[in-house]
Structure formats: C-alpha cells, structure tokens
Amino acid sequence: MAARPTDGNVAARLGIVASLAPGAIAIAEPDGPPQPDGSRSYALTTFGNLDERSDAIARGLIAWGVQPGMRLVMLVPFGAQFIELVFSLLKAGVTLVLVDPGMGRSHLVDCLSGAEPDGFVAIPKAQAIRSLLRRRFPAATWNVTVGGRRWFWGGKRLDQILAEGTKQREQIDLPRIERSDPAAVIFTTGSTGPPKGVLYTHGTFHAQIDRIRERYDIHRGSRDLACFPLFGLFDAVMGVTAIIPDMDPTRPAEVNPQRLVEAAAQWEVDQAFGSPALWNRVVRWSHERGVQQPFPSLRRVLSAGAPVPAATLVELRKLIHSEAEISTPYGATEALPIASIESREVIAETGPAAAKGKGTCVGTRFADVQWRVIEIDDGPLTDISETTEMPRGKIGELMVSGPMVTQCYVVGTDQNPLHKVRDGDRLWHRMGDVGYLDDRDRFWFCGRKSHRVTMQRRTLFTVPCEAIFNAHPSVYRSALVGRGNRPNQEPVIVVEPHREEMPRSAAEREKLKGELLELAARNPLTRRIEKVVIRDRPLPVDIRHNSKIFREQLAAELE
C-alpha cells in the first residue's frame, strides 16, 4: 500500500483519528427538508470514508500532474464535500487559497488574482466566472470542476480525479510534508482595509489544533454544531462529529434558530461554535417565543469574531446546560488563538467593568503565547529595539508571538513591515488592536488602532466610548467614528437602535439623541462627543462573523 503522509502534514491527523474509529461519524449534513416534528434525514460521512476518499482524490491530483506547493483556490460551499476537498488538497501538498465569497466581487477577484493561483477547485458557476476573467489568472491551468458539468473551461471533473486516484492507490505515494511547508493562504475579512492573504504553514494549523483541544478539553466523540466553516475542519482532526446546520455560514446573523435547535436535539450536540451575531439572534428568538432551555445537551459554546456582551452571556447561559462553559477565544486571521475568557468571569467581573468604559477583557493567554503592549505607532517597526513597552494599565497597541502566529502576508506584502517585528530569531505580530494589560496579565481590548479618534489634546478609543452609549436600553450597538483628519478629528457616535426601539418620528429621534448626549456629558470618557447620528438601517459589518463594524465605511458616509 502507498505511503501515508508524514506527521508534518496536518492532514495526517485525520488518518490517526480514522485508524482509531473508522466507523464513527465524522460529518452529518442535512439531505432533506425537516419533518413536522423537526427531525430530518442526514447524509453521513465516517472518519474512515473521509480519510480514504481524501487519500484517493489527493492521489488523483498527483497522477494528473499537480505538484506540491502549487496554489489552488477553493470555491466550494461549506459542507461535507468542502471538508473532504480541504484534506485532499493538503494531502497532495497543495497550498489552499481560502477566501470568503461574500466579501464582494471586486475584493474577491483582486484577492484571488493577487494569490497567483495555479488553478481552481470550484463549482461550475465559479469556474465560468474564472474563465471569463482568465486574464486575471494567467497561471490557473489546473482546474477541477466540483458538481455539475464541466463546460468550455477545460480541466478535470472531480469524479475523474477520484476515479484515477482510486485506480492508482498502490502506485502513487503521497508527498512528504514538513511542518514548515505552506498549507494555506487565508484572507482577512478586510474590516480595516483591503483583505490581506496570510500564509499558514502546516505547523500553524498543528499549533492551533493542539491549543484549542487542550484549553477547551475537547475529546473524541463530541458532537459539534459547526456554525463556522473553519471549526468544522478542526472537528475532523480532533475526532469530533461535525453536525452541519441548515444555515448560510456567510450570514450568521440571519440564521433560523429553530433549525439549530432541531439539529442539536436530534444529535444531542454537546458543543457549538458560532459568532456573537448568531448567539444574539438565538437569544432574541428564544425570548420572543418563550422557549425555555432549547439546548439542554450543550456543554461547550465557543464564540469568536467580536466580544460577546455580558448581558448576552447571561441570557445564553439560560438556554444551555446549567454546567456548560461559554468561552470567547480572541485572535485574528494572522494569529489565532491568542487568549480566551469564560462567561462566568465576564458576567461576575469584567462585563460590569466593560459597561463602565474599561474596555473588553479578552482573558488570559493560550499556552506558549507571548504578548506585550507597546506605544502606539502608525508606521513600520522592523526591530524590537524600535518599540517602547507600556506599563500595566496604560493603553497601547498589542503585539504577540508564538507557534500559532503567522510569519507573513503573501498577498498585500506591503503590509508586512507594518505588522511584523523582528526580535532575533523570534517574530512578533502587531495585532492592530489597542488596549492594556492588567495586573493579572489579562488583555483589555479597547478597539482597533486605526479606529481611534485623535483630537488635539485627547485620543478616544472606540470600545470604551461605545460602551457608554450601548448602556442605553434603546441601543443595540454603536460606532465611534472620526470625522476629518488626525490630529483634528471630530468624534461622532453612530447608533443602531434595537429594531423595536427605532424612532418613528423626528420628535422621537431628537429625544433619543438628547438622552444619548446627556449620557455622554456625564462621563469623562465621552464628554467631548457632541454629535450623535441615529441610523435607520443596520451598521455595516464583516462577512465572516457579522460582528466587526466597518467604521471606515461609516466615516466615508459622514463626509
């Protein structure tokens, strides 16, 4: 039998899991409409089948001529096939290019063109568009069509690749992969500028998986409601069954909570990963319908992408098992996970402080993470000697180092000098976040560096200021925006009321503005804010989590 990938390949973890429990269910995906009682049929993939098919596809790619190190774009909807293809490409030594298709066509094409791909693994619609834009992808000659027919764009169909790999099972060895080898190019959300392509090595993924499993005590046999695609991949290599819910993962804020409840009940899920926007919708839905504890089996909830308010955590705890843990990992595409905090600590201690403008505590570091807060600088810092460390309790920008911290951008390389700092053999990443470390070595997030509002004698940070306005019962969320240029910006607070609290007349609008300005005047953090804008539509947010506010867009609207 042909050799399996070496331990350097993160996909080798799937083979280990499959050898321990080949018949256990790796993925359950809906394949029919829900029945009147909420149950539905699911297409099941075992760990053994996932490992064998991904082996065969990898061999088929190699037989066709795909070489280790080639970059192939993945444009396939999230689901069992997406997971299978990711492992197939990793086993073949390919560098995956992953991008959120919902970021908008212009950003999408620019990102993919900048990645200089050797080919596309994509559904027919994406292949057709790629073919029409072939001048943007001159090297993309290795194209695999997934599902449907292959038309005029050439390449191979996935079923042809699979058949060839199955036939040559004994003749083709999978390549030797080292932990330092490239595994993926993953794009940032673009919440603070054009999306950047971050290079992940196999070692980066290994470091992420090990620390997530250890910190959250995740064991084989758990059942995860996978509401975020990347975590569905982690499930497979941790021996966890990924239950794929009936939802659009690019629009978590529009999820139908009833579908999550039905899937959780049918599979007795004990874990779920979702964005704050998703859990906020679940909490509101439960309140509106008077649903009591819809997730009684859920013992572990993970939520990332933005801080989860203490009030939401209080309500969410009522919906799940009484002994469950709700954790919020902190990090970025370039460095994840960095820190984490559990809901009880937020509810009892850090949440009340956050509501008073102290910032949002993201918790304590993961194992092997180093961090420091340095004096804010908008320019490049190439060496650690150019930085000035801030004392505890003083706001600065955060930099981090560790095995899960990526080393460079490969698309948007002009950003490397602005984010990467050399320290001998070690590399630090500047997170672009501002905040401070407390006397317990916890980081308190105060917003993005680029979002701070700089006035002549004062700098305002978004998260502490917004907390004062968010305390008003009519406010769902708010955004501090600077009008004009530094250091003479005018601070403006843009408010999104709760839907049911939206002002219905000019008089109601002015009344709400007056109340918010009164709140601002009573607090030293916000007393310099004298302009409030009541927005009659949702604030613009990122595609990936529906949680990060696009303040640059709001600033442009205010001009």
Element (H, E) at 223: strand 223-226
What pTM, to 2 d.p., does this model score?
Answer: 0.93
For residues 468 and 354, what is the distance between their CA atoms, to the nearest angstrom?
9
pLDDT single digits (tens) 502-514: 999 999 999 999 9
Positions of CATH 3.40.50.980 in the chain: 41-203, 217-360
Treating both helix axes as pointing N-terminal to C-terminal, what angle do 229-238 and 202-216 enclose, rounded to 10 degrees?
80
For residues 422 and 385, what is the distance between their CA atoms, to the nearest angstrom?
9
What is the reported pLDDT for 192? 67
Element (H, E) at 460: strand 459-460
What is the reported pLDDT for 24? 98
Q: Where are the beta strands (DSSP E) in 306-442?
A: 325-332, 335-342, 360-365, 370-374, 396-401, 409-411, 420-423, 426-437
* Chain position carrying tokens 């009164």: 518
* β-pair partners for 185: 97, 199
What is the reported pLDDT for 155? 94
Would you identify the CATH topology of the domain 217-360? Rossmann fold (3.40.50)
The CATH number for 368-449, chosen from 2.30.38.10, 3.90.25.10, 1.10.10.10, 1.20.90.10, is 2.30.38.10
| Number of Cβ atoms within 10 Å of the Cβ of 8 | 16
What is the reported pLDDT for 191? 65
Q: What is the CA radius of gyration of the chain?
A: 24
Closest CA to 93 of 58, 65, 63, 120: 58
Positions of CATH 3.30.300.30 in the chain: 452-558
What is the reported pLDDT for 64? 97
Positions of CATH 2.30.38.10 in the chain: 368-449
pLDDT single digits (tens) 427-475: 999 999 999 999 999 999 999 999 999 998 899 999 999 999 999 999 9
DSSP line for 364-382: EEPTT-EEEEE---SS---
For residues 435 and 354, what is the distance between their CA atoms, to the nearest angstrom?
12
Angle 11-147-158 from CA coordinates, rounded to 5°? 50
What CATH architecture does domain 452-558 belong to? 2-Layer Sandwich (3.30)
Q: How far is CA 221 from CA 9, 77, 238, 327, in A?
A: 23, 26, 9, 20
Residues of the chain with pLDDT under 50: 1-5
The CATH number for 41-203, chosen from 2.60.120.260, 3.40.50.980, 3.30.460.10, 3.30.559.10, is 3.40.50.980
What is the reported pLDDT for 249? 85
- Find the DSSP H helices in 318-439: 343-345, 351-355, 416-419
For residues 158 and 138, what is the distance between their CA atoms, to the nearest angstrom?
22
What is the reported pLDDT for 6? 53
Q: How far is CA 239 from CA 205, 350, 370, in A?
A: 16, 34, 29
Q: How far is CA 364 from CA 8, 156, 216, 333, 549, in A?
A: 29, 48, 13, 19, 25
